Each structure stands twice: as C-alpha cells, then as structure tokens.
Structure 1
Amino acid sequence: MIKLSDVAKAAGVSQGTASNVFNRPQIVRPEVREKVEAVARELGYSGPDPKGRLLRAGKVNAIGVATAEPLSYFFDDPFARVLMSGISEALDVHGAGISLVSSANDEKLAWNIQSAIVDGFILLCIEGGNRLVELTRDRKLPFVALELDTDDETIAQIGIDDFDGARRIAEHVVDLGHREIAVLSLQLVDDRTGRVTPDQIDTAIYSATRDRLRGYFASLKAAGIDTDAVPVYETENDRKSVNAALEALFDGSATHPTALIAMSDRAALFAIEWLRGRGVAVPEDVSVVGFDGVPEGAFSDPPLTTVTQPIAAMGRLAVQMILEGPSMARRQMLDVELTIRASTAPPRVLGA
C-alpha cells in the first residue's frame, strides 16, 4: 500500500511538502506541486485517507442513528421515516451527515456501534434500549436516547407521556359508547405474539407498551369495564401478527369488538385494511384508533383517529441536544395530542 511518505521520498521532498500538495496546494510552488502529483500518479497514490484526516481532527461532522432493529426498520416503519426526516432536517441546517447503525444480531450491533465514524449517537430504543446505551457509553461520545425506560438522570433522553396519551384515546373510545373493546398491542417481551394474560401484562419488559396498556385500562376501568376481560393481543407491529390477532378476534362468533385500540398507527392501518377486505365497515361496524400520528393516517380510508406524537420535532431536538451538549436539559418530555378523525364513531345500535 503506497503511503504519503513513499510519494515524498520518490519526489525528493519532505513529507510536510507532500501533504501540502494534497491538503493545501495553494501554498506549494506550481513546479513542486506538479512534480509531486506526477510521482503520485506513477506510484498509484490517490491522496490521503479522508477517514484518517477526520479522526485526527477529532470531528467527523456526522451523527449516528442506532437501533437494535434490522436496517430495514428505518425505511419500512412510518414512525421511523418521520423521525429520520426531522433528524435529517436538523443535520442539513448544520451541514452535517448521518450514519445508520443497526443490527438484529447483538454481536454485530456491538461492532457496528464501535466502528461507526460519528460525533455522537441518537438511540432509537424501540427494543434493547439498555444494551444500546451500554454499547454507546463505551464509545464515550455524546448520545441521546429516545423512549428509554430509565430514571437515570445521567442519560440524555427524549420521550412522551405514553400513559396519558393512551388514557386520552381510550377515554375517547368509551365516551363514544363502546364497551366491547380489544387491544392490538406492541410487544411486551421479545419473540412472542398472541393473546396475553393480565399476569403477562404486569411483567412486560418494554415500558412504552406497559405504560400504554395502563393508560388504556385506566380509562376503561373508569367506565366500569372489567379490564381482565379485555382481549389484548401482542403483535410484532407487522401485517402477519396483526392479521393473526384479527382472525382470532373476528372468528365468526356472534360477538366481536366494536372498537379496536391499536398501539401504533401501523397496526391500526393494517387492521382497517383487514376489516374492509372482509366487508366490515370502519367505523360503522368497528371503530379503530392508533398511536403515533404518522402522515399515512391522515390519508387512510377512513382517516385515522390517533394520538399524535411530535415525531419530527423529537428528531430535530435530538440533534440539537447532541450538538449543543451541556447547555440543553438532559431529559425532555414532549406533549402529545388527541387527533380525532373519521375512523371512530358510536357503536351501531343492535338491529339498526
């Protein structure tokens, strides 16, 4: 491998002069510059490694966005796409770049975080949040965790009040008059789908899922609904597991839910599609609500009632917290809004 020192030696100049030819050519005499460039071409030297130059400078002008999900998550999930748009917008303002760091394999995730050439990390703690924090702390770079289940005040965090958002949308459902309600949940633990028991809900390892269920149940209990009898189906937030839950809920029996509370807009949109494909009208036969406020929800048929998170604002704030460092508060909690659209209505009167 040809190095700069080899070029300098062959051209009969100092290594400093050779370096200036590639990095500050304006200060080198034209005849010297031309000689060094000719020798470099002859030896096959294309110039200094930009990675090494950036590392020596101590700043690479890029932020890593890390998740324990597969790389496809950044492109497939509506929440992730909106979040990335906010992150990208903020980075554009600062003229900085972005590096996507992910792997469903823990060993590869560790390597990807250790080897990422970035100035800091935004951690999407959808799952494996504590592991992401552990790996990132080893890099000794600034980082911000989104939706991390911890009271550790030393960790910079951005989150929302999942309990209150869930409570408000469930309250909307019961205020419409619904009493036969089912929940399409995000995962409570890894590698499990299907109907869950009250005991399994109490031992959920993912805080957002647990807090949203508690919020739903707070409103249902206030309406006199026995929450132990409310069907809760754990899904992987994908079409396959959501459809499996719906097939169990609408199995041809005489009774079925008049309202579906989905823990994500993605699951809610899958549900609307599944119901319509089987001749079940939304909201006339079944009301459907989501959680997130992704753009697709506003344009679905019918438009989706949901809890709207400031997703893009979370991304912009995360970039700001990394770039401004200690001047920002270490814990930022953002407000959510109840967005009522056409996917919810009072339950159909029996016989109407």
Structure 2
Amino acid sequence: MSEKTAKLADVAKAAGVSQGTASNVFNRPDVVREEVREKVLAAAKKIGYGGPNPKGRLLRAGKVNAIGIGANEPLSYFFEDPFARTVMAAISEEAQARGAGIALVSAQSEEALAWNIQSALVDGFILFCLEGADKLVELSQERQLPFVAINPPDGYESVAAITIDNLAGARLAAEHLIELGHRRFAILGLPFNEKGSGRRKPVDVRAASYGDTRDRALGYYAVLAQSGIGEDEVPLIETRGDRKTVNEAMEQLFGAPEPPTALLCMSDLAAMLALEWLQAKGIRVPDEVSVIGFDGVPEGAMSNPPLTTIAQPLVEIGRKAVDMILGAAPPAGTERMPVRLLVRSSTGPAPRR
C-alpha cells in the first residue's frame, strides 16, 4: 500500500486498535501508552502511511497561522527593491515573533497571479500595492480573507490600507533645499504609468496614472512656487528606478548649460543611482549639487555621501501590517503613517555663482 492510498483507518486496522487511538498517536501522542504508540507507528511505516495531511488539519482548525505577501511583480522584487526588502524584513520578524509563517505570491502573469492568490494556504494577505495592482486587490477580495494594502493606488480608498502623506513628504524635501538657498532644481521621477521614461511636463504630472508620483511632484511644485520658481522652470524626468533610465536622466540634466544645484528624487533607489553617476563624473556632492531621496531605506546611510531623505517608518509599516492581519479585529480603514526629514551629508548650501 502506498502513502498516497494508505489512510488512518488502514493503520488502525493493521495495528489492531481503534481509529481514535490511531489518531491520538499522531495528534495527541501524550495520551497514548508508549507500547501502543510504537505498535501504531510500526504499522503505519509498514503500510506506507506518512501521517495526517497537515493542510487538511489546518483547514479543519480554521486557521493556518500564515500570511500571504503579494505584489504584482516577480518574486525577485521582494529581495532586490530596497523599500520592499526593508518592509519584508520587518514583516518576517514580526510574523516570527507571533509564531506565524509567510508565503510570497508573485504575478509573472495574470493567470499565475490568480492561481497563486486562490490556492495560497494563508489567513490573510499583505499586498505591496504598486500601481497597476488592480487585479491583485480584486483577487484578494474574492478570497474573502482579511487583507491590508501598503500604499494602494487611487480608487481603493475603501480597502484596509497603510499609507503615507506623499504631498507632505515632498514638501519637506523641497523646503529643506529652499532653506539651503537653492534656486535651480530638477526632479528624478518615479514611473507615471506602466511604461515609459523621459522628460515630462507639469500637465503630464497631473495626468499621471500613479498617485504617489503625482503627489510627490505636486508637493515639490507647491513649495517651489512659494519661492517664485515656476513649474515649467523645474525639469522633471520620469525614470523606472533603474540604472539605465536614471543615467539617461542625469546625462540630460547635467548636459544642460545651467545644470541643477538641487536634485529632488522620488525614491532613495533613484537618488543612490544618481550619487553613483555624479561621483563617476567628478561632480561633488553636496558642494556642486545637493541630492535628496524619498523612503528612508537603510542603504541610504551607507551611500557616498550618506543620503538625505524623507524617511518612511518602514519597520513600523511592516509590523503594523502583520498586526492588522493577525489581530483580533478584521483590518479596516486607512492607517496614515508619518514621514520625517532625515538630514545627512548629501545636501548642503547652494554653491555660490
């Protein structure tokens, strides 16, 4: 008899005990005498029975003590993106402290995403809601399990969410550089939509599909306008947050007759890539140009020079997400987390003409 066909009833019959006794051997061994346990285990081994199906046992209990972590990105996103990596570390630490496991769910295709969400053996989902994640949210709702979205896109105000005030964070960044005396600015943007990169106009900002990109740009614009710097005076280049598009943006910005003295970056990743490009070109930071990021990832403290940034409470976001899934009450509403200006060595006074 194979393990696939052997059942608990077969074990009980082979060992000459009741099915209840056989069940106790596997699930409550402390209530069964040692000689009976040995007899039942020997019978199970002989007929090829490997023990109760853990999936079935967990489903009968109504709780599996595991959280699904989903994103509309390949699995490598969780390990390569500094933001995701930092939040994931906090999620893992908090889940482990609560004795819970995690399961990563990726979306190489819509079909794969549907299968992964529908078959995941979890108590709920934490969704890294990168823009364009509509299907991810929809499938999670269909599972009728608790879920919380981290920075969800526009249109999902009714789902449980953890987010930040992107406008306020961008204003802090621009105010810091204005106070340092800068007047020539440029913006390294996040993606505006699912594809594309290059120079963008203020009208493109307001039409952007992705809310975090739009709000950060509008926050920068609002502060600069108070200092008499018009939106059309501030070059904004959309990047994909990768070396290729960031380098192309930097070539364009610093090939201009009057390059910026202050660079507003919508992510720490883009800011750190910009720092590498500037160092390779011999452009001194912050003596010739100041650079500020957005996110507060740990790697920013180790860049050259250490990166000034708008810091999100990344660890707290991860812990809060786990608590919302494993807590007694189902997740509801939006938890808006604070951001703060973290000044390091990549920003300084505007250079004298």
Select 1:199's aligned residue among 194, 197, 203: 203
Q: CA deviation at 1:153?
A: 5.6
- Give the stretch that moved more between structures: 281-290 or 120-129: 120-129
Asked whether the equivalents of residues 63 and 123 of structure 2 are also in contact (C-alpha less than 8 Å), the reply is: yes
Asked whether the equivalents of residues 65 and 123 of structure 2 are also in contact (C-alpha less than 8 Å), the reply is: yes
Equivalent position of 1:120 in the other structure: 124
Select 1:250's aligned residue among 238, 241, 254: 254
Select 1:175's aligned residue among 175, 179, 183: 179
Equivalent position of 2:234 in the other structure: 230
- Cα distance in 2 for residues equivalent to 1:10 and 1:128: 57
1:129 has 2:136 as partner: no
Q: CA deviation at 1:150?
A: 4.3
Equivalent position of 1:40 in the other structure: 44
In the comparison of the two structures, how many residue pairs are matched?
349
Equivalent position of 2:55 in the other structure: 51
Equivalent position of 2:96 in the other structure: 92
- Cα distance in 1 for residues equivalent to 2:276 and 2:348: 18
Instruction: Assess, with a 3 A threshold, how the Cα gap between structure 1 residues 329 and 55 changes in structure 2: closer, same or farther.
Output: closer
Asked whether the equivalents of residues 142 and 325 of structure 1 are also in contact (C-alpha less than 8 Å), the reply is: no
Asked whether the equivalents of residues 182 and 260 of structure 1 are also in contact (C-alpha less than 8 Å), the reply is: yes
What are the within-5 Å matches in structure 2 for residues 266-285 of structure 1? 266-285=269-288
- Give the stretch that moved more between structures: 9-18 or 227-236: 9-18
- Cα distance in 1 for residues equivalent to 2:13 and 2:178: 81
- Cα distance in 1 for residues equivalent to 2:111 and 2:232: 39
What are the within-5 Å matches in structure 2 for residues 152-163 of structure 1? 154-163=158-167
Q: What secondary structure sits across from 1:121 in the alignment?
A: strand
AA partner of residue 85 (structure 1): A
Q: CA deviation at 1:328?
A: 6.6
Give CA-to-partner distance per residue, 1:191-248, whole Å, 9 cap, x none: 2112223332221111111111110111111111121232111111122221121122
Q: CA deviation at 1:28?
A: 2.9
- Cα distance in 2 for residues equivalent to 1:324 and 1:301: 41
- Cα distance in 2 for residues equivalent to 1:320 and 1:37: 40
Q: What secondary structure sits across from 2:122 in the alignment?
A: coil
Equivalent position of 2:338 in the other structure: 335
Equivalent position of 1:323 in the other structure: 326
Q: What secondary structure sits across from 1:346 in the alignment?
A: coil
Report the identity percentage.
57
Q: What secondary structure sits across from 2:69 in the alignment?
A: strand
Instruction: Assess, with a 3 A threshold, how the Cα gap between structure 1 residues 117 and 314 changes in structure 2: closer, same or farther.
Output: same
- Cα distance in 1 for residues equivalent to 2:13 and 2:125: 41
Instruction: Assess, with a 3 A threshold, how the Cα gap between structure 1 residues 148 and 180 changes in structure 2: closer, same or farther.
Output: same
Equivalent position of 1:262 in the other structure: 265
Give CA-to-partner distance per residue, 1:48-106, whole Å, 9 cap, x none: 12111111111111111111111111111111122112212322331111111112322
Asked whether the equivalents of residues 69 and 127 of structure 1 are also in contact (C-alpha less than 8 Å), the reply is: no
Equivalent position of 2:113 in the other structure: 109
Asked whether the equivalents of residues 288 and 343 of structure 1 are also in contact (C-alpha less than 8 Å), the reply is: yes
- Cα distance in 1 for residues equivalent to 2:330 and 2:41: 46
CA RMSD of aligned residues (A): 1.8
Q: CA deviation at 1:325?
A: 4.6
Q: What secondary structure sits across from 1:243 in the alignment?
A: helix
- Cα distance in 1 for residues equivalent to 2:50 and 2:314: 43
- Give TM-score scaled by structure 2 length: 0.93
1:306 has 2:309 as partner: yes
Instruction: Assess, with a 3 A threshold, how the Cα gap between structure 1 residues 111 and 328 changes in structure 2: closer, same or farther.
Output: closer
Equivalent position of 1:82 in the other structure: 86
Select 1:216's aligned residue among 207, 214, 220: 220
- Give the stretch that moved more between structures: 182-191 or 153-162: 153-162
Q: CA deviation at 1:149?
A: 3.0
Structure 2, unaligned runs of 5 or more: none
AA partner of residue 327 (structure 2): E
Give CA-to-partner distance per residue, 1:152-189, whole Å, 9 cap, x none: 56421111110011011112112222222111111110
AA partner of residue 58 (structure 1): G
- Cα distance in 2 for residues equivalent to 1:135 and 1:31: 50
Select 1:286's aligned residue among 289, 293, 297: 289
Asked whether the equivalents of residues 188 and 234 of structure 1 are also in contact (C-alpha less than 8 Å), the reply is: yes
AA partner of residue 140 (structure 2): T
1:10 has 2:14 as partner: yes
